[in-house]
Amino acid sequence: MKQATVAGPTPDDAIETQEFTVALVGNPNCGKTTLFNALTGLRQKVGNYPGVTVEKKTGRATLPNGTPARFLDLPGLYSLTPHSPDELIAREVLLGLLPGEAVPQVIINVVDASNLERNLYLTSQLLDTGIPVVVALTMVDMVEREGRSVDAAEIEAAIGVPVRAVIASKRIGADELLEAVGNAGGQEVRKREWTFSPAVATEAFRLQQLIRTEAELKPRVAFTEALTLLMQDTDSAGPRYLPDSCRRAAKEARERLADQGIDSASEIIEARYAWIARVCEGVDRGPGEDQRRRRPFMTNDRVDRVVMHPFWGYVLFFVVMAVVFQSIFTWAKVPMDWIQNGIDALGTGLTKIMPAGDLRDLLKEGVLGGVGNTIVFLPQILLLFLFVSLLEDTGYMARAAFLMDRLMSRVGLHGKSFIPLLSSFACAIPGIMATRTIGDRKARLITILVAPLMSCSARLPVYTLMIGAFVPARTLLAIPLPGGHHLTLLSLPGATMLAMYLLGMVTAFGIAWLFHRTLFKGVPPVFLMELPPYRMPSLRAAIQQMIERAGLFLKRAGTIILAISVVLWALSTYPKRNDLPEDQRIQHSFVGMAGKSIEPVIRPLGFDWKMGIGIVSSFAAREVFVTAMGTVYNVGDAKETGQVNLMDHMRSDIDPRSGRHVFTPLVAVCLMIYYVLAMQCMSTLAVVRRETNGWKWPAFQFGYMFVLAWAGTFLVFQVGRAMGWG
Amino acid sequence: MASRDKRDHGLQPDTRRANRSRAEGGGRRQRMLDSSQPQSPSPGALYRKDVALSDLKPGECGSVMRLNGNFCGRLRLLEMGLTPGTHVRMVRAAAFGGPVDIEVRGYQLSLRREEAAAVWLGDEDQP
């Protein structure tokens, strides 16, 4: 799997390129994924294109004529103009410019019959590529329910390539579609049907000739590139691989046209829509007079009036969010506890059957611990993805983003950033995985970078330990009840906990704003979002999506988590000092040495080497801090009965050098602040690596969060001490 | 390729006119008007011109004249179907200056107000 990140063709790709390849291309929300699933069943493989975050999904099926075919599910796109990495990859695949990926033999263009005009825009670009196209017409049933009719045969006659109506969820029409795909290989190359004005045409063909000679591209490819260059309004963007001479020529051509008062981009796009208008003429029949009332747009509109209402819309949104949050925070706890107990039971079993020794410890603490650390996240990931895919498929997600966009865009985030950030309160891992729904790359990356600042459930044990031991249970706000009782509304421990959650949230938004203004300053925001009609979600698709995401997490992140677990186990075990009592052994391990050697760095934060050991060993996962402290203070099982014991030990620990308490309330607060801000979670880093397809962003994230944590804690400790709170 | 290129030079209808004639033919405009019926009963008040798309009130319609400026989403807006002569309808606007929801070419699109402000509405194509 790791080879996927290496640029260039792998031997695997080399075999694949010799196969009959069919690319599925279509607009977002057109039913492409459902069709892909219907055609290939479960024989799918998900990977990444080399060097980018674009997901590469392939599947296999045999055509009716016996040819085995590889199906390539390209990302959903509105056009072949490269606005985003998705579109860049798709156009490079289709133009044969992507190393390691051969030009597909046939394109299945998935067209949503209920939204013909806009869907046919992409079709007109696909026809230009010269690759045989077969149109799969989806949502025909929806159109008929509206009382309209769209006839596949009439569209076929109008655009000149095979058009087959399919109902993907029931696999109706799939065999006819595959048959057309099988016969499409012999399709003769069609001439371009749409036309543009002489001025633009002259420039386009001149540019095409130049690209053909300069970049040695095939005529069709050069034509597409020429049009793209003529349409692009900035010079920085644009197709890769093209020499600067072509860009310069395009710029001059655009300027020549502008002098004549011609906007080349508008002209080319209008020309395509004019062709679409001719195709749609007579094909897309409106409803009869009596059927007008059944138009779904009205039904849709009626639902939208509530869902997108300036008041009720938000009420509904918060109810939906509450359910999502509750499910991953509370409901997921039950299966998570089963998993944890199961892992513990396995560990106990291992202790019984294996002789004591390093191998047993390695298996129990390293391997089993690592596996446990991975699969314990599955319930949250599965549940969150169930919700995300249901929300996406019903069309609600776009509405929620519409409502939240104003708030989120102020700090450079997207309306769709809300769900990932909310989920991160339970765990940043499913949250970061859910950022896939954010179309805008910049907003997605910022969301990923700030998501771990939300206080996740793994920080709770740290907060509980510190607050329990050092924050007095004083009541801040209470309602007196009859009989001398009080109903406590807010206590000091509660307020401290709340403050930690708020600190994380406020920092996340502040940092998002900072990145928006600095790191991604030049990157333009894009918020052009289709509000798809409400649709009945398919439970099968949702479950398939859940399983796919969980599988990817296990495969990509799980391996890294397991490896780090084993390494961390070894570091905390070796060098082995059997001559020392058990509670002192960890001090002399590599982790102990690291904890001690970082003391100069963490001293200004008020931490000593014991906390250093806690911090180093909890790099795997934050909650390990509690167990590590338990080991350092030798109180045995710090999780349950030992916790009270541990609190006592920590409270009474005196620094032999200064004679003062090691832990004070100020130190406890500083430690919590450190855990709010620092990236002490290798699983999150592993997931960020997987989602951004490289170590660059996780490394940056780890770095900035460490600096933030150190600076924040330093400030609080030093100010606190100067004020005499220590 | 070369021979086909020549042929293309032969037939060069003015695309803008083609667009217009389609609009006059009824198709899209008819649909736009229909779908706006439930919002406002008086069709006469529906169309507005010489304003930006962001100035429309829910239920009001207009016809795209041009996209002002050279902002980065311009090309994308054109590709999504907001070409000159296209009829658009404001469906609703989000609270607190949030995005707007418009109907264009039979589907709903949401865009930020800044982007909508760049879409200038002009004359209907027929008097």
Q: State the residue for tokens 């300053």.
A: A521
pLDDT at B10: 36
Rg (CA), chain A: 30
Please, what's the b/e burial string for A662-699 (b: 16 or more CB within 10 A of its CB; e: otherwise)?
bbbbbbbbbbbbbbbbbbbbbbbbbbbbbbbbbeebbe
Which residues in chain B are closer than 8 Å to A288, comparing Cβ atoms? none
Q: How far apart are alpha carbons B53 and B113 in whole angstroms?
A: 9
Does A19 lie at the interface with B, CB-CB under 8 angstroms?
A: no
Distance in Å, alpha carbon of A528 to nearest chain B alpha carbon = 5
CB atoms within 10 A of CB A517: 11
Distance from CA of A218 to the nearest CA of B (A): 10
- The pLDDT-based confidence of A298 (bands split at 50, 70, 90) is low
Question: Under an 8 A CB cutoff, do A402 and B99 touch?
Answer: yes
Give the gap in angstroms from C-alpha A46 to the nearest C-alpha of chain B: 29
Residue A292 to residue B34, Cβ atoms within 8 A = yes
Closest in B18, B38, B108 to A531, CB measured: B108
**ipTM for this prediction:** 0.80
Measure CB to CB from residue B83 to each of A197, A198, A266 and give the nearest one: A266
Best B78, B87, B125 member to test A by mutation, with max A CBs in 10 Å, is: B78
A474 in B contact zone (CB under 8 Å): no
Written in H, E and C, the secondary structure of A592-604 is HHHHHHCHHHHHH
User: What would the 3-class secondary structure string for A478-495 be?
Assistant: EEECCCCCEEEEEEHHHH
Would the pLDDT of A89 be above 70?
yes
At A559, give phi and psi (nearest 5°). Answer: -65, -40
Contact A652, A594 (CB under 8 A): no
- Mean pLDDT is lowest, of A310-319, A352-361, A628-637, for A628-637
Touching check for A374 and chain B: CB below 8 Å? no
CATH topology of domain A195-284: Helix Hairpins (1.10.287)
- Using the predicted structure, report yes or no on whether residue B98 has a pLDDT greater than 50: yes
Give the C-alpha separation, A574 to A571, whole Å.
Answer: 6
* A106-112 vs A20-26, strand pairing mode: parallel
- Please indicate if any CB of chain B lies within 8 Å of the CB of A29: no
Whether the per-residue pLDDT at A523 is higher than 80: the answer is no
* The pLDDT value given to residue A641: 55
**pLDDT exceeds 70 at position A107:** yes
A484 φ/ψ sector (left φ>0, alpha ψ -120 to 50, else beta): left
Q: Mean pLDDT of all residues in chain A? A: 84
Average pLDDT over residues B9-21: 39
Residue A243 is predicted with a pLDDT of: 81
> Which of A493-502, A522-531, B93-102, B105-114 comes out lowest in average pLDDT?
A522-531
What integer pLDDT is reported at residue B24 of this predicted model?
A: 39
**Which of residues B6 and A494 earns the better pLDDT score?**
A494
Check whether B116 has a pLDDT greater than 60. Answer: yes
Provide, rounded to the nearest whole percent, the portion of chain A with pLDDT above 90.
Answer: 31
Q: Hey, what are A378's tokens? A: 């599955």
Identify all chain B residues contacting A195, using CB atoms and an 8 Å cutoff: 8, 11-13, 15
Q: Report the mean per-residue pLDDT for chain B.
A: 71
Check residue A296 and give its pLDDT. Answer: 52
Between B4 and A368, the higher pLDDT residue: A368
**Amino acid, res. B38:** P
Chain B residue numbers touching A277 (CB-CB < 8 A): 18-19, 22, 27-28
Of the listed ranges A101-105, A627-631, B41-45, the one predicted with least confidence: B41-45
For chain B, how many residues are written?
127
Residues A632/A634/A637/A640 CA torsion (nearest 10 deg): -90
Residue-level pLDDT at A640: 52
Mean pLDDT of B101-125: 89
- pLDDT, tens digit, for every residue of A171-217? 899 999 999 999 887 777 777 888 888 899 999 999 999 999 888 88
Q: Inter-chain contact A526–B72, Cβ cutoff 8 Å?
A: yes
Nearest chain B Cα distance for residue A531, angstroms: 5
Helix axes A264-280, A116-128, angle to 10 degrees: 110
Spatial neighbors of B34 by CB under 8 A, at least 6 apart, are: A292, A295
Q: Do A121 and B81 make contact, defined as CB atoms within 8 angstroms? A: yes
Q: Which residue has the tokens 């944890």?
A: A340
| Contact call for B98 and A406, based on CB within 8 A | yes
The CA dihedral of A288, A294, A300, A304, to the nearest 10 degrees, is 110
Q: CB distance A531–B19 less than 8 Å?
A: no
Helices (H), A83-217: 85-95, 116-128, 140-145, 152-159, 174-184, 198-215
pLDDT of residue A297: 55
- CA–CA–CA angle B69, B79, A135 (5° rounding): 175
A166 touches A35 (CB < 8 A): yes
> Among A276, A328, A235, A249, which Cα is nearest to A111's?
A276
CA A53 – CA A75 distance, rounded (Å): 11
Give per-residue pLDDT as tens, B19-58.
443 333 334 444 444 443 333 333 444 888 899 999 999 9
- Per residue in A232-271, pLDDT (tens digit) is 765 545 556 778 888 888 889 999 999 998 888 899 999 9
Residue pairs between chains A and B whose CB atoms are closer than 8 Å: 173
Q: Where are the domains of chain A?
A: 4-192, 195-284
Exposure letters A527-557 (e unless 16+ CB within 10 A, then b): bbbbbbbbeebbeebbebbbebbbebbbebb
Amino acid at site A41: G
Q: How far apart are CA A482 and CA A134, in angstroms?
A: 78
State whether residue A278 sits within 8 Å of chain B by CB: yes
Of the candidates A198, A269, A308, the beta carbon closest to that of B78 is on A269
Q: What is the pLDDT of residue A521?
A: 79
Nearest chain A CA: its distance from B48 CA (Å): 22
Give chain A positions within 8 Å (CB) of B1. Answer: 219-220, 223
* Closest residue on chain A to B75 (Cα): A265
CB-closest option in B19, B34, B105 to A274: B19
d(CA A16, CA A11): 9
pLDDT in tens, A682-726: 889 989 998 888 899 999 999 999 999 999 999 999 999 998 876
What pLDDT band is residue A410 in, cutting at 50, 70 and 90?
A: confident
What would the mean pLDDT of A356-360 be, rounded to a whole number?
83
Give SS3 for A161.
Answer: coil
Higher-scoring residue by pLDDT: A663, A86: A663
Tell me, what's the pLDDT at A239? Answer: 57
**Cα of B70 to nearest chain A Cα, Å:** 7
- Asked if the C-beta of A265 comes within 8 angstroms of chain B's C-beta atoms, the answer is yes
- Chain B residue numbers with beta carbons less than 8 Å from the beta carbon of A191 are 4, 7
Q: What is the Cα–Cα distance from B5 to A201, expressed in whole angstroms?
A: 9
The shortest CB-CB distance from B73 to any of A205, A528, A533 is to A528
- The answer to whether residue A299 neighbours chain B at the CB level (below 8 Å) is no
Confidence bin at B88 (pLDDT 50/70/90): very high
pLDDT beyond 70 at A660: yes
Q: Is B35 close to A297, i.e. CB distance below 8 A?
A: yes
- Is any Cβ of chain B less than 8 angstroms from the Cβ of A523? no
> In chain B, whose CA is at the least distance from the CA of A264?
B75
Q: For residue A616, what is the enclosing H or E element?
A: helix A609-617
What proportions of chain A, in percent to the nearest 5, are helix, strand and coil? 65, 10, 30
Angle ∠(A157,A162,A167) on CA atoms, nearest 5: 110
Residues of A in contact with B75 (CB under 8 A): 81, 83, 231-233, 265
pLDDT value at A53 more than 80: no
Q: Considering only CB atoms, which chain B residues are within 8 Å of A532?
A: 108
- E strand or H helix at A308: none
Is B99 in contact with A232 (Cβ distance < 8 A)? no
* The pLDDT value given to residue A272: 94
Q: Is the pLDDT of residue A533 over 70?
A: yes
Block residue for tokens 């099968």: A540
CATH superfamily of A4-192: P-loop containing nucleotide triphosphate hydrolases (3.40.50.300)
Q: Is A392 on the interface with B (CB under 8 A)?
A: no
> Model confidence over A126-165: pLDDT tens digits?
999 989 999 999 998 888 887 778 889 999 999 989 999 9
Instruction: Report CB contact under 8 Å: B80, A277.
Output: no
* Residue A643 pLDDT: 64
In single-letter form, the type of residue at position A384 comes to: L
- Residue A344 to residue A640: CA distance in whole angstroms: 14
Q: What is the pLDDT of residue A524?
A: 65
pLDDT beyond 70 at A348:
yes
Beta partners for residue A58, in sequence order: A45, A72
Segment B61-86 mean pLDDT: 87
CA A638, distance to chain mean position in Å, is 35
Average pLDDT rounded to a whole number, residues A361-381: 82
Tell if the CB–CB gap between B27 and A115 is shorter than 8 Å: no
Which residues on B lie below 8 Å from A197 (Cβ)?
A: 12, 14-15
**Residue of A188, A269, A521 to mutate, interface with B, max B Cβ within 10 Å:** A269
Q: Which of B85, B86, B111 sits opposite A527 (nearest CB)?
A: B111
Tally helices (H) and strands (E) across chain A: 34, 12
Taking only the tens place, the pLDDT of each residue in A576-591 is 777 777 667 777 888 8
Residue pair A632/A581 in contact by the 8 Å Cβ criterion: no
Determine the straight-line distance between the first and last CA of chain B, rounded to whole angstroms.
43
pLDDT recorded at residue A322:
85
Q: Which residue of chain B is at minimal alpha-carbon distance from A267?
A: B15
pLDDT at residue A293 tops 70: no
Beta strands in A497-590 (DSSP E): 528-530
- Minimal Cα distance from B69: which residue of A? A233
